[in-house]
């Protein structure tokens, strides 16, 4: 029996497992799969289902069709500001923090001295909890004692960085970018290391300057990293929650879809059906990106 299994193990195809093997596989594969289905995918489907009901968590579940969505889009004032803030978040991380992280990675990849120090420092914020980032932001941006106002020196007419609803989202985005940049940097740095140096040399021989080499030759070979960074950026933007919650529970200009979901379920109102509808909006947006990503992965898998 060992011989036959050995031969068959080489190529794909059904392989005979002993009953003990089957038990091991059944249990050790079964538990995580069960966990994933009951705690992740089941609730996802349940959210979709509940979003069409007016359930408050206690009484009977009443089907209300698309009422929740209609209310959400037309008659729920915080929704559009929240959606706008999520989009801003995405744009800011995508167009400011991510390119900045890439820039830092490229600079560090040139082999500068002290690069280890730079890397550690730039990466440090990533290990902090987003809630901590929110608290630290208050030290810097607080109106009366904050460092920023002290540096600018406008003590007579202090700017309320976190209290002004037109301003605070930008301040929070800055704090979020502080953390995101290091993350992106480290991913690109690892990617850049794996680029075949002969590619760059060949491009240089062909007369490409540094910029052309990077954008036309190096960046395209970083495609897998680009995809991951893109996914992380989108997901971070949609998941954003902790920072604003730590600052002011996501009110007064800092509304986010995630905050609205949480407010509707753990608040006193307990509008579970309605909260689910907001969650489904989040889900729909993120699914678009998740599917794109998986298709990419699948292609890579096939090539293997």
Partner 1 sequence: MTKGMTASARTAPARTPAPATPARGGRRRTRPGRLGLHAFLMTVSLAFLAPLLLAVYASLRPYEETAEHGYFSLPRHLSFDYYKQAFSDSGMSKYFVNSLIIAVPGVLLTLFFASFVAFAVSRLKMRGGLILLMVFTAGNLLPQQVIVTPLYVIFTKIDLPYWMSDSMTLYDSYWAVIAVQVAFQVGFCVFVLANFMRTLPLEILEAAVVDGAGVWTQYWRITLPLCRPALAALGTLQFTWMYNDFLWALVFVSDGDKLPITSALNNLRGQFFTDYNLLAAGSVIVALPTVLVFLILQRHFIAGLTLGASKG
Task: State the nearest-atom distance from the C-beta of 165 to partner 1, in Å.
Answer: 20
13, 237, 214: which is closest to 105 by C-alpha?
Answer: 214
CB of 160 to partner 1, least distance (A): 15
Q: What φ, ψ does residue 114 adopt, rounded to 5°?
A: 60, 15
- Decide whether 208 or 227 has the Cβ nearer to partner 1: 227
Euclidean distance between CA atoms 200 and 225, whole angstroms = 18
DSSP 8-state secondary structure symbol assigned to residue 126: G
Distances (CA, A) of 74 to 80, 147, 265: 9, 41, 20
- On whether the CB atoms of residues 168 and 252 are closer than 8 A, the answer is yes
The four Cα atoms 167, 168, 170, 176 give a dihedral, to 10 degrees, of 170
Minimum CB separation of residue 212 from partner 1 in Å reads 18
- Whole-angstrom distance, CA of residue 267 vs CA of residue 224: 41
What is the residue whose two structure tokens read 């600052």? 247
Task: Return d(Cα 208, Cα 215) in angstroms, integer.
Answer: 10
Specify the residue, 116 or 211, whose C-beta has the smaller distance to partner 1.
116
Which CB atom, from 121 or from 212, has the smaller least distance to partner 1? Answer: 121
Query: Residue 23 CB, nearest distance to partner 1 (Å)?
Result: 9
Q: Minimum Å distance from CB 77 to partner 1? A: 19
**Minimum distance, C-beta of residue 206 to partner 1, in the bound complex (Å):** 21
């Amino acid at each position: 029996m060992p011989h036959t299994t050995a031969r068959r193990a080489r190529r794909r195809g059904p392989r005979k497992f002993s009953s003990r093997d089957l038990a091991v596989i059944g249990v050790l594969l079964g538990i995580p799969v069960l966990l994933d289905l009951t705690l992740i995918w089941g609730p996802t489907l349940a959210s979709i289902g509940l979003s069409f009901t007016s359930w408050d968590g206690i009484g009977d579940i009443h089907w209300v069709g698309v009422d929740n969505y209609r209310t959400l889009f037309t008659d729920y004032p915080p929704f559009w500001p929240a959606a706008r803030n999520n989009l801003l978040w995405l744009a800011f991380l995508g167009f400011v923090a991510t390119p900045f992280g890439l820039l830092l990675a490229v600079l560090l990849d040139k082999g500068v001295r002290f690069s280890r120090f730079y890397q550690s420092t730039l990466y440090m914020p990533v290990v902090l909890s987003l809630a901590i980032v929110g608290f630290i932001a208050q030290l810097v941006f607080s109106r009366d004692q904050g460092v920023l106002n002290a540096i600018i020196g406008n003590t007579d007419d202090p700017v309320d960085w976190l209290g002004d609803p037109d301003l605070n989202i930008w301040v929070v985005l800055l704090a979020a970018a502080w953390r995101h940049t290091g993350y992106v940097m480290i991913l690109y740095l690892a990617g850049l290391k794996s680029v075949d140096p002969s590619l760059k040399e060949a491009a240089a021989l062909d007369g490409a300057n540094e910029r052309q080499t990077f954008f036309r030759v190096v960046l395209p070979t970083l495609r897998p990293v680009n995809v991951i960074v893109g996914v992380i950026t989108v997901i971070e933007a949609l998941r954003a929650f902790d920072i604003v919650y730590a600052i002011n529970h996501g009110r007064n200009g800092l509304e986010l879809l995630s905050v609205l979901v949480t407010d509707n379920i753990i608040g006193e109102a307990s509008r579970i059906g309605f909260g689910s509808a907001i969650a489904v909006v989040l889900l729909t947006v993120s699914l678009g990106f998740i599917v794109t990503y998986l298709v990419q992965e699948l292609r890579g898998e096939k090539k293997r």
